[in-house]
Structure 1
Amino acid sequence: MAKTPTTAAKEVTIDDLSSQIALLKNDIASLTETLGEYGKAKSKEMRDNARTAANDFADTGRLKAMEAQKQAEEFLQAQPGTALGIAAGIGFLVGLVTARR
């Protein structure tokens, strides 16, 4: 059987396969490197977002604590007798709870 031009073009040599495999290895290495860089960038972005959210929560918490302190001070100035009674009651309850242990 004689080789026709179409069957000769379809024949692949070992050297052709080796060069294609080497090219594929290089592509995979490049893809792996790109994925690694993408992962590092996303990791940094997520870390920065978490830090920003934590700072926002801390600031909100500080503001709420200052508001509560201000309200407590206003209550103490407006009704010192009631505040003293509440403090004595809380102290008595804490003493009961700790004395049982």
Structure 2
Amino acid sequence: MARTQTNGSAAQTSAELEEQIATLRSDVAAIAGTLSDYGKAQKTQLADAAAETLNGAKAFGDEKAQQAKQQARDAYAEASKAVRANPAASIGIAAGIGFAVGLLTARR
């Protein structure tokens, strides 16, 4: 902190102190404004990054859901082909599974 020589009266020294305090207040207000602006910029940047991550996750989820749907369709088509190729075996397997389920549920 700079020191000033006090050749004048106490009133002059008091006036100088008041001037320095006013300067300090304006400097502190400027710093507070700068920090506020910086905080707002950081908030905006974080919000943009979060939105981008969310959009990426949505796109990834949609893609995986479409893949799962396609796999389910393919499995259904394969099962349908197997049943049409071997109807007797399919009926036998279905009857065996039904019999096993019936035994398990009847043993209470």
Unaligned runs of 5+ in 2: 5-18
Question: Which residue number in structure 1 is paired with residue 103 of structure 2?
Answer: 96
* Structure 1 residue 75 corresponds to structure 2 residue 82: yes
* Structure 1 residue 86 corresponds to structure 2 residue 93: yes
Question: Which residue number in structure 1 is paired with residue 36 of structure 2?
Answer: 29
Q: Which runs of 4+ in 1 moved over 6 A?
A: none
Which deviations, in whole Å up to 9, do the C-alpha atoms of 1:47-67 show, x marking residues without a partner? Answer: 111110111011101110111
Per the normalisation by structure 2, the TM-score is 0.74
Unaligned runs of 5+ in 1: 1-5
Q: Which amino acid aligns with 1:53?
A: F
Higher RCO (CA-CA < 8 Å; seq separation 6+): 1
Q: Aligned residue pairs: how many?
A: 94
Per the normalisation by structure 1, the TM-score is 0.79
SS at match of 1:43: helix
Say if 1:99 and 1:17 are closer, same or farther in 2 by CA, change over 3 A.
farther
